[in-house]
Amino acid sequence: MNRTLFAEHALLPDGWRRNVLLQWDEHGVLASVEADAAVPAPSAGIERAAGPLMPGMPNLHSHAFQRAMAGLTEFRALAVANDDFWSWRDLMYRFAARITPEGIGAVARWLYIEMLKAGYTSVCEFHYVHHAADGQRYANVAEMARHVVEAAGQTGIGITMLPVLYQYSGFGAQPPREDQRRFINTPDALLGLIDSLRGTHGEHAALRYGVAPHSLRAVSGESLRDVLAGLDAMLPRAPVHIHIAEQTAEVDACLATEGARPVQWLFDNFAVDARWCLVHATHVDAQETVALAKSGAVAGLCLTTEANLGDGVFPAHAYLALQGRIGIGSDSHIAVDWRSELRLLEYGQRLTRRQRNVLAAADEPFVADRLVGAALAGGALATGRAVGALRAGHRADWIVLDAEHPTIAGQDPRTWLSGVVFCEHGEMPVRDVFVGGVKVVDNRRHRDEDAARADYRAALDVLLDQA
């Protein structure tokens, strides 16, 4: 039996449409999406959306455990002359050393509820804390990952689990540091971890797998080739995500040891295409920008984290002009709101170019509409799942906006996304959220938020007590 919802306004692939009837099946997949439908009579018993519908946003980059340290590194330690990405990473590693399987489950469950309430309906989890604190394997090699996957299942968010391959501490196969021991695997061990997770938790419309070579600092060309070959034997064309060129020190080290910049090196050595997500790609030169755009790979931009860590500014204007694909991620979760990511994407360009509406295009003069469209399409591609559009065959994932929110009330649909993305006035204009056709957020509340919040609070006590 199909389920049905009627919406007076919905953002379809061709823009805002009136009187949209959506039908989906028992697996949570849209069976039909019809615009200009007859308005159903009240007696028909068809549910009406409480406001305008837009597709749920994919979050293409998350390290769930880092949610618990958001706000705890916003001070300069006196001993640190240059507080930067690398000093932050030392603090983050100290935190990563303390997280337990139950702890990561509780943190992820609360985080995913925050994501859902913000309108993120899919997440790509770049998961790298695999082993016990002393580096010993857990009896189940996927013990940490399974808690994250189960957290996603409990909250309802769709997940692409990307177990991370981490082997080295720097270019030239430098041995890992002591504080990286929880992350370390060979390509074979990592493929075994994915295989074991598939065995225990299966694979379905809300759960897919891929692989994440952590960065060119943490893998070698050979191990990257090995893990991709193994992945293809198991899950052909599954997504591949990699951190790249986030810091200039990485660019310099890559030039020194490999004789090429990181993105250039990757393109010279691998067939980078639409299955790839290059996370950050902040420091790309003009040639790399063209190569990335032409490849069809997704640039995984994590604007609030990149700003927080002082990474730099991605050349979004040039890249989007070349039709490059983008998606957005909340990464360290200093903010969990896709609107902040998109706003900062445009504002970085405004501040450096001293212009307005920089990321508008000839065929889409409204910046927010262009960026929402790009982040839905690119983000969906990065998940490897059929999401990101209200279209038959795609997951029934959408946000119901509050049309009476002061930020958009009384306006024409043409400016709704502008208000939603650029304005910050009080509570979010996200009212309800459906994932796989199930209403998991109802009038700004997630069905499990009280219990999840209490568990998160208890997990924090354990984590912070030992600090």
Number of residues that bind Zn ion (CB under 5 A): 1
Separation of alpha carbons 30 and 28, rounded Å: 7
**Coil, helix or strand for 395?**
strand
| 143-155 helix and 187-201 helix, angle to the nearest 10 degrees | 40
The closest alpha carbon to 56, from 306, 383, 276, belongs to 383
In the numeric block, which tokens belong to residue 243? 């951190």
What order of strands is seen across the sheet that includes strand 298-301?
Answer: 240-244, 276-280, 298-301, 325-328
Closest residue to ligand NGQ, judged by C-beta, is 63
Q: Which two tokens stand for residue 156?
A: 């309802």
What's the closest the beta carbon of residue 63 comes to Zn ion, in angstroms? 6
Q: From the CB of 103, what's the least distance to ligand NGQ, in Å?
A: 17
Provide, rounded to whole angstroms, the least separation between the CB of residue 63 and ligand NGQ. Answer: 5
Tell me, rounded to whole angstroms, the distance of Cα 438 from its chain centroid.
21
Cβ-based nearer residue to Zn ion, 288 or 331: 331
Three-state DSSP at 419 gives: helix
- Catalogue the active-site residues: 280, 331
Among 3, 89, 131, 225, binds ligand NGQ (CB under 6 A): 89
How far is 242 from 126, CA to CA, in rounded Å?
9
Q: Which does 89 bind (CB under 5 to 8 A by kind): Zn ion, ligand NGQ, none?
A: ligand NGQ
Residue 460: Cβ-neighbour burial (10 angstroms; 0-12, 13-18, 19+): middle
155, 160, 295, 305: residue in contact with ligand NGQ (rule CB under 6 A): 305
Question: Can you tell me the distance from the alpha carbon of 445 to that of 396, in angstroms, rounded to the nearest whole number?
Answer: 19
198's contact among ligand NGQ, Zn ion, none, with CB below 5 to 8 A by partner kind, is none
Among 143, 246, 432, 455, binds ligand NGQ (CB under 6 A): 246
Closer residue to ligand NGQ in complex, CB, 281/399:
281
User: For the window 275-314, what string marks contact with Zn ion as x by the rule CB under 5 A?
Assistant: ----------------------------------------
Q: Which of 155, 215, 282, 383 touches ligand NGQ by CB under 6 A? A: 215
The CB-of-189 to ligand NGQ minimum distance in angstroms stands at 19
Question: At 370, is the secondary structure helix, strand, or coil?
Answer: helix
Q: 135 φ, ψ to 5°? A: 90, -10
Q: Which helix (H) or strand (E) holds 162?
A: strand 158-165
337 near ligand NGQ, rule: CB under 6 A = no
Site string for Zn ion, 320-349 (x = CB under 5 A): -----------x------------------
Considering CB under 6 A, how many residues would be counted as binding ligand NGQ?
Answer: 9
| CB closer to ligand NGQ, 214 vs 405 | 214
Task: Choose the contact partner of 215 out of Zn ion, ligand NGQ, none; CB within 5 to 8 A by kind.
Answer: ligand NGQ
Question: Which two three-digit tokens encode residue 288?
Answer: 């790399």
* Residues lying near ligand NGQ in the complex (CB under 6 A): 63, 89, 215, 243, 246, 305, 309, 331-332
